[in-house]
Every structure is written in C-alpha cells, then in structure tokens.
Chains A and B, each alone.
Chain A
C-alpha cells in the first residue's frame, strides 16, 4: 500500500521535473529560428501606438481584494470538506449534524458579506 502510494507520487515528481521541457522546447526553438533585431520602438509597451503614461504597477481596485478574501474562506472550507466527503459513508449521525452546522455557518458568512454589499461590483 505505502509502496504503491510512493510509486504514484514518484510519477508526479518525475512529471513535475520533466514538464518544463515541453513548453521550453518550442520557446527556445522560437529563439533560434526567429530573427533577433530588437530596437527601442519595437520594445515599447503596446498601447495602440500611444506612448504609455504613468506607472503601470499601481494599486488595484479594492473589490478584487474583497472577492479574494471571501474566496480564501470558501477554499479553506473546501479543504476541510474534501476528507469528510471522501469518508462520508463511514461517518455517523453526529458527523452529519456537524457538517450541516459547518456549511450553515459558512452560508451565514456568505449572507453577511452579501448583505454588507461585499458582492456588489461598482
């Protein structure tokens, strides 16, 4: 059992180690086959022919941050729910109530965020 699990993960590690080759090969081939004549105008930031004004790396809209916060809550919830879902057939009545309570607490959280206008795009 343990050996099998390790073999499976060995495959994943080999895959991770080899997978950069597949995107890197065409990009390097492109480097070798394509012309290399850089100049200042060619390397300008593309903005439909107009010179770019001001700094690009600016502060972003706070809305994205709020969505990201709600996402983190739900994603962590999912991490907790996955093992429970996989073992669902083995769990007793107590676990059912516990999970129901867990999901309801999150639903209340979503309702709160919704009510406070965190889900409105403006």
Chain B
C-alpha cells in the first residue's frame, strides 16, 4: 500500500513537484532572503537638528559610524513623516533649547506598530545616546572637579589673605588701645582758671570807673567841640588866627579825651596790682597749661601716628577682605556653575519617546499585519480551491464549451470569491472588534479601500494558482507556499532590515508588505486616501493586469484541457495485427501458435517472402527489434525455436 501511495503521488507530476519541491523552494527562498544577514540591521534614522551643537554633531557622527543611515531633515514634521512613510525607522529630534551644561532633551519618534523591531531599535538608539550621555557625564564630572580644584586654590589664597588681615587687625586693635590710653592722660581741666575769672572782674571794675570818668568828661568835650564847631561855622568873620586857636582847643580837647580814656583804661593801682598778681598767677597757670598742652600735643602726635597707621592697616585689610569676598564669590559662582545639579550630572541627556501612531494599544499595532495575513491566506486558498475545484470538476468540459467569454467567467468566479472573502473579513472584523481596540473606523475610507484591494489582489493571485494547478492538493500547497514566502519576507515575523540587500529591494514588490504597510498607515497613522492615492493607482493597475492575466491563463487552460488526451494518443501504440491467411496475429504468443499450426506450404507461401513479413511486422508493429533480427530466418522450426527462447526469457512481460 505504501508503494502504491508513493506511486500515485509521484506519477502525478504536479503533486510530486509541489509536495517535494514546494517546501524546498520555501526553505531556499527564505534562506536566500536571510542568507548573509545578521542581527545588526541597517537602520535608517532621521534627525531634526534645529541648531547644530556639539552633541548633535557627535550623536550623528556616532550613528553614522555604527552603520546607521542618518538623514537630516529640515523640519520636525518631515522627520516624523519619514517614519510614517517607512523611509526611516526612527526620528531623533534635538531640542532647540539645549545649551551649556543643562540636561539636553532628545525626542525619539518611533513607529511602535513595528513591534518586531521597535524595541530593539529603541534599545540600540538609547545605547547610542547613552554613549553620548556617558561622555557628557564624564565631561561634567571632570569640569566639576576642575572647578573644585580651582575653588580650593582660591579658598586657600583667600585663607592666607584673611589670616594676614586678621593679624593686621590685631595690630590695629593694639594701636587703638594705646591711643585710647594716651587720650586718657591728656588733662581736661585747671582749677586756677577761676582766678582768671576774678581777674576779669577786677579789670571790669576798672573799666567801669574809667567809663564813668569818660562819661562825665565826654559831654563836656562834645559841648566844647560843638561850640568850637559853631564858632567856626557861624563866625565868618573870624580870623585865621581865631580859627587856628579854636582848632588848637579842639586838639587839646581831643588829647584830653585820649588821656582820660587812657586813664580810664589804666584804672586804679590797687586794682592794677591785684590784676598784676592775678596776671602773674595767670601766667603761671598758663605756663602749666602750656606744659600740659605740650604733653597732650605729644600724646596727640603719638595717637595720630597710631591712628594713621591703623587707618592704613585698615585700608589694607578692607582691600584684602574685599579680595577675599571677590574670590569667594568667584569660587561660589565657579562651584555652582550654570545651575549644575545632581540630575544634570547623572542624566546629562534626557530622552523622551513619542509614538507616531494614533493608538498605544500593542495589539492594534499588529492588527493591520494580521488582518492582511488572514486576507492573503484565505484569499489565495479560497479562490485557488474554488477555481481548481471547478476546473477538475465534471462540469469543466461543459463550462469550457459554453459561449461564455473567458473574461466574463473569470470575473464571475472572482466576484464569487470576493463576496465570500468580503463576508469573511466583515465577520472577522466584527469578532476582532470585541477583543482588539482596532482603530478601524478612524479612517474608514482608505482602510476599507485597502482591504478591498487586498481581497481583490489575493483573490486574483489565488485564481491564477488555481488555474495553474491540476489538483486541490497542489493548489492548496502552492497557495500556502506562496503565502509563506510572502510572509517570511515581510515585516511580521522577522524585520526586513535583517534580510540581504537584494531581497530587501525585492520586498518592495511583495504585495503583502505593500498592502499591510498601507493599511497600517491608514489605521494607525490616519493617512487619508489622497496621501496614498499614488500607491492605490499602482495597485489598481496591478489588479487590471491580474484580471487579464487570469483570463489569459484560463484561455490557455481551456486549450490545454482539450489537449489533455494528446500525450495518451501520442504514447498509445496499438500494433496492427499480422494477417497470416485467415488468421490475425497480435503478438509473439499468437505468432508461435500460428506458426506451429502452419503447414510447410503455408509457411513458404505466407512467410518466406523476400522481406520476411513476420520479421518486418515484429520490428514495425511490435517494436521488438532484437526479436525481429532473430526471426530473419527461412526455417519455420528455427523461427519457432527462437520465439520459444524469447518467450521463455521475456514471456512475463508480454501479454500474448
């Protein structure tokens, strides 16, 4: 039974090819796709740098060095769009506010729908940024240490200055204490000064007396002077002599007045003696005072000198202190830096990750791929099975012979599969909506357009497989094989970036990738129909091509269907019988029996012709050239003998 099964399997060439070579082909294709690939994917990174900084330059340089393909975009929007469009895997946006030693914010825009690569990518990029952060961290630590060293030197210098100032201040303090002592020794009061007040009283009495005399005499002198003046004025006739006399009188009066004044001033002798005594006493006092003042002056000079010295020291100290203050302020500023804090040192670069998708639901990320996967497999399997079932059915002959055009038949078959598949997809979407928060209706027009295009496309592909297959098994395995190849060289299982360069380029032609990426954009990024109209037009063109291709293949299948008897007719050889008298001979067994019954005369008449009709017949009709060669004899017995030997050797193979 096993032998029978194998024979049945391998005698159906298509099944044999599909079963044996299908899996081998898949493995070969997949191996080819990933041959030479490594875990280090070629990752395209977009960057937006509003202001070129050392960090941004270094980061881009490092990324380039580590096999990242870095593209710099002019705006943040174009950078993010590049991730949406798939031309880059991530967009790194450096903040415009970055400056000095502050923490630098970098935003990663990532496509989290690419679940099979995004976290690896995030890790890789974070590692790259961490390298930069480490460098900055080291730089900041070094800078801090340098500042502390500088501050220590400044503080040390300030300490010396302050110490010196303290010593000087101590000296000033001593000097001032001495000045205070000196000031205490300067006399502030003399008792004998009272006597000078008394002397002032005496002198006042004398002055009063003299004034009394003066008061008495002065009116007289005034009257006399007035009289003389009147006489000089009124006496116009007065001679010169008279006038001179009057003037002489007046001079005398004036001398008298002066004398009286002098006397008044000189007062009495007693008083003068007393005054003299007092004056002598006063002089003594004044001499003492002069001595005291001389002493005080000496002390004042000393004090002044001390104070001057202290003032000078104080000035120096003030300058020193000011210097210390300045240095300490500098040290403070230097240590503090530009608000350098612990966070800045430990986390010099702050990264934030932003998803470009409209949803954060992880399942939703995979949903477009899974939906397209289901459409691809069901579409191809359903349509291929439907077509092949129809093709190998009894009704195929009548379908091929009716006047219905190929294109119409293909279209109707397609429509049937489309309706079925569309219904299945609607059911799937309905069921999945209970389990997955799929953002199907966020962008319904492009989403449903793409789903429809996918159904149409994979239905046509399945139909082509169906028309090219002759058995259901072959159609099924072919569909699964093709689907598997399309699946393996897609983003769903292993990232495309892990494939070899040529295969990566070829994947652009993989309809599963193209459609699932577009569906993802529609469902997760919310792209509009207008944004994908170009791709839709290309797909529409492809669908038209597929329609004509399917019709063409059906046309060829129709021709092939009526040619299926050809191989049978070509291979089938029905040997014409050999007529020997009234007997028809069909094979060696018949021939030997007929020869045996044949009389010598009959043999001579029928066989022994110039060309030996038996040998010719055996060669031409039975196609037994060796036997024909042996039968080229004129003896009936020899012919029977040779036939008998031949039959004994090959008899089992011969029917008669």
Asked if chains A and B come from one complex, the reply is no
Interface residues in chain A, defined as those with a beta carbon under 8 Å from any beta carbon in chain B: none
